[in-house]
Chains A and B, each alone.
Chain A
Amino acid sequence: MKHFSEDDLIAYQLHESSDESAIHRHLEECKDCAALSESIAETLRVFSAEPFPQPDLEHNWQRLRGNLSVLTPEHPSRLSILRWHWAWPAIGLVAAALIVMAGVGLHLHHEQRTKLHLALDNHAINGHGPLTTQPTDPAIADHLDAAERLLTEVNNSQGSLDQTTREQAHTLLLKNAVYVHTARDSGDVAEAAVLENLGRVLTTLDNEPPTERSAWRLRLEMNTNGLLLDIRILRQNDDDKNQGAAQ
């Protein structure tokens, strides 16, 4: 008689089994599997939901309220406040950047409205419109292209990262610092912010021990902070600009 594994029986008890009727029939005639299955069922009963202590909403609201900054259309908050903090000194130093920002204010506004409709997920990107009116350095465009490919691969892969991926990350990291400066110098704060964020992820990729766990953490973080999406938006903007230039 072919017995079922513990995992099979756990899946059965959780109604996640694709083999439910076969297992059910087997349990009626196999004492061993029936005992194991009952032991699993009991475990699930013992670890059923404990009552949840209701939080004090007023207290939590007051605490949260103190941490909320005012969101205004003037803050292109596609990038969170945290990711903007470094940019302020740069803006202060480069007055020209402010002028550029003001000059493309309408574009930013349009950009922001467009981005309201973007998904948190990494697919279904339909945003377009330039972040700035400045042409993007083709070297940066290539860099973003390579970064997007690498991160997509990291995101779609399983387990720990292979040596090639880690070497690619290292190479990209070395170039990235240069492009952050280029973007800042040209007053493209949004692009610079994305590149900064990319730099942090690449640093993690470069430094983390090559374990399955660290790779998972990295993928989770990449997705939570929306880096891949940011890069794709920048890339798409570049494409739009290039098409616009060709017309």
Chain B
Amino acid sequence: MSNRRMDRAETEAIREVLGGNRDAYRVLMDRHFSSVARVAFRITGNKEDAEEAAQEAFLRAYNKLPTFRQDSAFSTWITRIAMNTSINLVERRKRDLSYHAPRIADEPSAADGTVRVADGHASPEGALLSLEAATLRHEAMAGLTPMERAAFTLRHMEEIPMTEIATALNITVNSAKQAVFRAVGKLRRSLAPVAGGLR
């Protein structure tokens, strides 16, 4: 995510693509698809959507390649686009879901105590390592808005700086921080019923 200049191979690949050689784009894809898909995975929460969002990001970047200023890193640019396509995909999925089924928020969730701590776990953290806990985590994450989820996962799991997250999401740094804080607050409260001693 740094602003470092691109190396020769990437600059050369871009020139070839702009000259009509589609296959040269593979160089950029080989180098960046995995990291872009990982960022997309943090935002979408599943492999299929992550790859779809990453695909869309690479396609968008390809079509906008003539506008790309080559003194910033392609990786920064493509990651930014991927954050956008990922959020768009999550919002689309949410809309589709609310159209066809009860909203996630309306379904019983961990917050009302339906998830129980299995016996034999010495600590709440131990309990949360179980499969049940994976479901709980998944449901808790589903309670976040796409923006909260994106800001939280990118900051906490990918350790992307707030300023970069804010730029990518086109919000102020303060808004990005607020989104992260709200996310952590919501997640913490979703753990409360199982985490016993936690407030």
Give the residues in chain B near A16, CB-CB below 8 Å: 162, 177, 180
Nearest to B145 among chain A residues (CB) is A213
Q: Of B29, B68, B169, which one neighbours A116 at CB under 8 angstroms? A: B68
Stretch at the interface among A137-145, A163-171, A203-211, A218-226: A218-226
Residues of A40-58 whose CB lies within 8 A of B:
40, 42-49, 52-55, 57
The listed residue with most A CB atoms (<10 A of its CB), out of B30, B33, B128, B188, is: B188
Cα separation A40 to B192 with both chains bound (whole Å): 11
CB neighbours (8 Å) of B98 from chain A are none
State the CA gap A7–B87 with chains docked (Å): 24
**B17 contacts A by Cβ under 8 Å:** yes
Chain A positions 107 through 128: 1 when the CB is less than 8 Å from some CB of chain B, otherwise 0: 0000010011111100000000
> Mind listing 5 A-B residue pairs with CB under 8 Å?
A14-B184, A68-B62, A69-B22, A73-B19, A120-B64
- Chain B residues with CB under 8 Å of A4's CB are none
Interface flags, B30-67, vs A, CB<8A=1, else 0 = 10011001100110000100110011001110111111
Question: In chain B, what residue has the closest Cβ to A225?
Answer: B64
Check if B94 is an interface residue, CB within 8 A of chain A.
no
**Chain A residue with minimal CB distance to B51?**
A55
- Known: A60-B29, A80-B64, A117-B69. Is A6-B55 also a contact (CB below 8 A)? no
**Given known contacts A39-B199, A115-B66, is B51 in contact with A60 (CB within 8 Å)?**
yes
Given contacts A39-B199, A220-B170, contact A10 B184 (CB under 8 A): yes
Q: Does A94 count as interface, using CB distance less than 8 angstroms?
A: no
Known: A10-B185, A220-B84. Contact between A116 and B69, CB under 8 A?
yes
- In whole angstroms, what is the CA distance A11 to B162 when docked? 12
- Interface contact B64-A57, CB-CB below 8 Å: no
A43 & B187 in contact (Cβ 8 Å cutoff) = yes
Q: Are A47 and B187 in contact (CB under 8 A)?
A: yes
> How far apart sit A10 and B177, CA to CA, in the bound complex (Å)?
10
Query: Does any Cβ of A come within 8 Å of B125's Cβ?
Result: yes
| Per-residue contact bits, chain B 126-165, to A (CB 8 Å; 1 contact, 0 not) | 0010000100010011000001000010011110001000
Give the complex CA separation of A7 and B177 in angstroms.
9
- Once the chains bind, are B29 and A43 in contact (CB under 8 Å)? no
Partner of A64, one of B58, B152, B155: B58
The reply to whether the CB of A78 lies closer than 8 angstroms to some CB of chain B is: yes
CB contacts (< 8 Å) of B65 on chain A: these are 71, 77
In B6-22, which residues have CB < 8 Å from any A CB? 17-20, 22
**Nearest A residue to B80 by beta-carbon distance?**
A120
Determine the chain B residues whose CB is within 8 A of the CB of A112 once the complex forms.
Answer: 66
**Neighbouring A residues of B147 by C-beta, 8 Å:** 216
Do A64 and B55 contact each other (CB < 8 Å), given the known contacts A36-B199, A112-B66, A220-B169? Answer: yes
Once the chains bind, are B58 and A120 in contact (CB under 8 Å)?
Answer: no
Q: How far is the CB of A224 from chain B (nearest CB, A)?
A: 5
Whether the pair A223, B67 counts as a contact (CB closer than 8 A) is: no
Contact of A226 among B67, B140, B177 (CB under 8 A): B67
* Chain B 86-108: CB-based contact to A (< 8 A → 1; otherwise 0): 01000000000000000000000
